[in-house]
Amino acid sequence: MSIVSGNPSNTSFDGSPSTDSDSSDDPARRKPRTNAATGASAAGALAKAINPRVAEGSWSWHTTTPGLLAHAVRMYGWRFLPDQVLPPLVGNIVVGAVLYTSYLQILSGLHEPTLQATKRIYPPPAPSLTFTAGFAAGGIQSIIAAPLDALQVRFSTSDMIKGQYRNVWQYGKHKLHEIGIRGIFSGWGLSFLKDSFGSALFFGMFETIKSQGYYTFVRYYYGSLKPHRVEKLSVSAAPTSSGGIPSIQPHYALEPCFLMLAGVTASLVQQFAQHPLNLVQTVYYERLEHIDAMAKLDHSGMKMMKHHYEAYLGLFGRCQKLAIRAGGWHSWLFRGFFGNAVRLVPSTSAGLIIFELVRRKYGVDAEIVHIQQDGYEIILT
């Protein structure tokens, strides 16, 4: 989200406007895409805009999100949190819940063992099924997130600082009414591609490594043991089965390691799809202010369809110019990829791991999985 520094003495969150420079000088107006934010960045945007320490440019605890929020609460009271911070956080939580819930429901319809909601799903779903479920869930997410994306990409902290809106709730209601359905879904095609393919890679890679990779490793490593090793592990790790066949239970730390590896890898692979499309969206959103202005002048459906069509039509040409300027398509599309991945991978992978742990905690107890080998068996509890 674009941050506009301002004098705290001139700010107002009670609805009374304060005198300030004209909104046309606001860089957030000139570059609409720089306003977009999700989660913590949106939650701390206003707090950052009213903090004078930000202008100094040096890092300190006061310039972190908790420090910025603490400063805002001291200045405006606890009401600042539900009015300005809570809305983007609630929106982010709702969108995430829709994504994960949709994925599980769709996968349950495609894969019978998943429908049983057991703690351990065996046999695991094929990669094609998880990819399909992730793609569909991402498409649903893009529809639910469209109003939030429309608000975020048009958000300007100067509007809030001047007191034009009492809180973010009021801003959202007014802005959505102003832009209408066509404005909400402006650029939705790009969002659909980004969310669908990103989620497909996200869940597909996660489930493949977590389940297929883990079971393959277990069969490979524990399936090639020599007899004396089998005897040692069956005594120390697991009791002999009822049929008198020695049983081996894999090391307890092995599966959590695959779970962590799956989360990190899935988050990284997702960025390969979403990072380039984010840059393309940025170029498209540069035309968004013009499209909104045309919508105010002419509300006819055919005219608006023409404006959106022209925006998409000229998108490739504008992207091509930027790519040539950057030294090629690859250089432009993956510019800043590493830094963005380092910033996003920890949080997204942690979300996947928590998702899996919660699914197992509240899953139905199932029978122990027995993998038969030559003269012994591997058990997975």
Tokens for 164, please give them. 């034009």
Q: Which domain holds residue 276?
A: 88-380
pLDDT on residue 266: 93
Percent of the chain's residues with pLDDT above 70? 76
Span 201-234, pLDDT tens digits: 999 999 999 999 999 998 888 877 777 777 777 7
User: Where is average pLDDT lowest: 19-23, 126-130, 178-182, 351-355?
Assistant: 19-23
The amino acid occupying position 287 is R
**For the chain, what is the domain count?**
1
What is the predicted pLDDT for the residue at 29? 41
Evaluate whether residue 25 is within a structural domain: no
Q: Give me the percent of the chain exceeding a pLDDT of 90.
A: 28
pLDDT of residue 204: 95
The verdict on residue 158 lying in a domain is yes
- Residue 99: pLDDT above 60? yes
Measure the CA–CA gap between 132 and 124, rounded to whole angstroms: 15
Most confident of 32-46, 137-151, 280-294: 137-151
Average confidence (pLDDT) over 156-168:
70
* Separation between Cα atoms, residue 202 and residue 200, nearest integer Å: 5
Q: Do the beta carbons of residue 279 and residue 333 sit within 8 Å?
A: yes
Is 62 within 8 Å of 68 (Cβ atoms)? Answer: yes
Query: Measured between alpha carbons, how far is 170 from 28 in angstroms, rounded to an integer?
Result: 19
pLDDT digits (tens, 9 = 90+) for 272-320: 999 999 999 988 888 777 777 776 666 666 777 777 777 788 888 899 9
Cα–Cα distance, 163 to 76 (Å, whole number)? 13
Within-domain flag for 53? no
Rounded Cα distance between 349 and 332, Å, is 26
Environment class of residue 266 by beta-carbon count within 10 Å: exposed (0-12), middle (13-18) or buried (19+)?
buried
**What pLDDT, on a 0 to 100 scale, did the predictor assign at position 36?**
37
Asked if the structure places residue 32 within a domain, the reply is: no
Q: Is the pLDDT at 22 greater than 50, yes or no?
A: no
Cis peptide before 87 (omega within 30 of 0): no
* Helix spans in 162-187 (H): 168-184
Max avg pLDDT among 133-147, 153-167, 170-184: 133-147
**Domain assignment of residue 103, yes or no:** yes
In a domain, 79, yes or no: no
What pLDDT shows up at residue 53? Answer: 59
According to the per-residue pLDDT averaged within each range, which of 41-50, 61-70, 114-123, 372-381 is highest? 114-123
